[in-house]
Every structure is written in structure tokens, then in C-alpha cells.
Amino acid sequence: MKTNRITFIGGGNMTASLISGLIADGYDPQLITASDPDSEKLARLAASYGIRSETDNHQAVAAADVVVLAVKPQVLESVARDLSRTIQENQPLVISIAAGVQEGALAHWLGKDVALVRTMPNTPAMIQAGATALHAGKGVSAEQKDLAESILRAVGLTRWVADESLIDTVTALSGSGPAYFFLVMEAMEEAACKLGLDEETARLLTLQTALGAARMAIESNNPPAVLRKRVTSPGGTTERALAILEQGRLRELFMAALEGARQRSVELSNLLAKQKKLNSDSET
């Protein structure tokens, strides 16, 4: 798997994170190429990781076994259409990390019979602690699935979903999820300060508690419900606090929040597809 030539189209933060993770995992930097019109971005990537750089997307893709599309969703159509002929000639595995762009649209822009994997990473991937969902389009082989997973696993946990529509649920859960935990941390810090702690102490205790709870959950074979019960003594402080949270319908709030985020993900995806169709119609 570590002998495949990988080209990243786009030299932003996610590309840098993936490259960093791949190299830390033992990948040869000379098998990795990044292409971007911004020469300064490319210079930083080359200096930091020793990879190859290219300002011409076609040159970068021509010899690639894997092409990772890491550009903004708004420009993905023009990039994909421009690369269509080169990708058709070379037939690499194509991995998209662009949010909201459906496989049908990508397949239309890139041309028929493209081996395409759509992914939904999240921002902790930038520190190699991400959570990424993947969906394989028609024509993706088992070997290509393993290859796609190995690339995204370089920045954290990976999970496959059987239906592309579940990417919207993943967006609501892990895509937007870091913000939910940041909000909880923010609320805990504010409450602790109001109860007398100084800001630095409140912040450090909150962050270490969050880290410790996450590590316990990851390293345990038990679900969070069991872990919660184990730290909840009858008649104690934790039981009192949890009762207040349950009375505030915390579970219902999270259900509504994730459903709202999932619906918005669908809306944005459909809106992006509609805008692309209007732009295409106006050009003809």
C-alpha cells in the first residue's frame, strides 16, 4: 500500500494533515505530490515534508495512483471537469474530501467508470485525531477501498458507511460534533468561574476532565452508559448534577440538534447541486 503514488489537488490544512500523517506512518515523501496554484503553499509543504510539488494539476495527476480532491466545494466542479480527460486516461482512485458534493455530481464531472470514494473527515484530523466516514462508489475494488482507508486512517479513525445518504448523518455527528463538545466545555468553564474558580483553573480542569473521560471511553470495552453509572454514587454529587441535566431534556436536545444538522447538510448539498446545474445551464 505504501508504494502508491498519491497526488493532492489543493494544498490547504487538510492536505497538510494527511501528508503529515502519511509520512509519520512511514510513507515515502517522494511518492506524494501536492498541486496548488499558490506557490507559497506548495513551498511550505515541500519544505516541511520533503514532498513533490506541482502547479499544473494535469502534470500532478498524470502519474498518480490516487488523486485526493482537497479543494473547496465551490471550485470542485471546475477542477474536476478540467482534470476529467487526464483522469480518464490514467484511471486513478479518486478520493473526495469536499463537504456536500455528492458522488453523482463528481462522477458526472470526472467522466464514466471513475473509481470514486467520498469521505467526510472532521477538523481534529488536523492533529491526527480525526474521525472520517467513507463511502465507496460503484467500481471501487476491495484493494482500492483498503488504500483509501489507509490514507484517511493516517489522520485518525475511519468507518465505512453502506449508503451515501448516511454521510449527512455523519456530518451531523462527527463533522459538526467537535463544536458540540467545545460548547459543553465552554458552559462548564463559565459555570465553574461563577462558582468561584479563576479562569485558568476552570479551563485546565475542564479540558483535562474532557480528555480523561474520552480516553476512558476509548480504552474501555464498556459503553458510555456503563461508565457513567460507575462514577455515579447513589445520593452523591454526580447523581444530583445528572438528574438536573436529564430534567433539562439533554437527550432530546441532542436528538433535535443532530437532526437539525443532518437536515441542513441535505439542504446545503441540494443547494450546491442546484447552483452547479444553474451555472451549467447558463453556460450552454
Contacts of 171 (CB under 8 A, 6+ apart): 99, 120, 261, 262, 265
Show which of 138, 167, 196 is a domain's final residue: 167
Cβ-contact 188, 206 below 8 angstroms: yes
**Model confidence pTM above 0.85:** yes
pLDDT tens digits, one per residue of 147-168: 999 999 999 999 999 999 999 9
Mean pLDDT (whole number) for 86-97? 95
Average pLDDT over residues 24-29: 93
Query: What local confidence, expressed as pLDDT, does residue 7 receive?
Result: 97
Are 147 and 15 found together in one domain?
yes
Domain match, 187 and 75 both: no
Assess whether 86 and 183 both reside in one domain: no
**b (16+ CB within 10 A) / e for 271-280:** ebeeebeeee
Q: Distance between CA 177 and CA 126 in Å, rounded?
A: 15
CATH number of the domain enclosing 21 = 3.40.50.720
pLDDT at residue 269 in the model: 85
Mean residue pLDDT across the chain? 93
pLDDT digit string, tens, across residues 258-280 = 999 999 999 988 887 776 565 65
Q: Do residues 162 and 213 share a domain?
A: no
Is residue 24 located within the same domain as residue 149?
yes
> Per the domain annotation, does 269 fall within a domain?
no
**For the segment 172-216, what is each residue's pLDDT rounded down to a tens digit?**
999 999 999 999 999 999 999 999 999 999 999 999 999 999 999
Report, as an integer, the average pLDDT of 205-228: 97
Q: Are residues 13 and 141 in the same domain?
A: yes
pLDDT value at residue 217: 97
Examine the domain organization and report whether 133 and 234 are in the same domain. Answer: no
144 plus 198 within the same structural domain: no
Same domain, 220 and 238: yes
Same domain, 60 and 128: yes
- Give the number of domains in the chain: 2
Residue range of the domain that includes 53 = 6-167
Tell me whether residue 220 is in a domain: yes
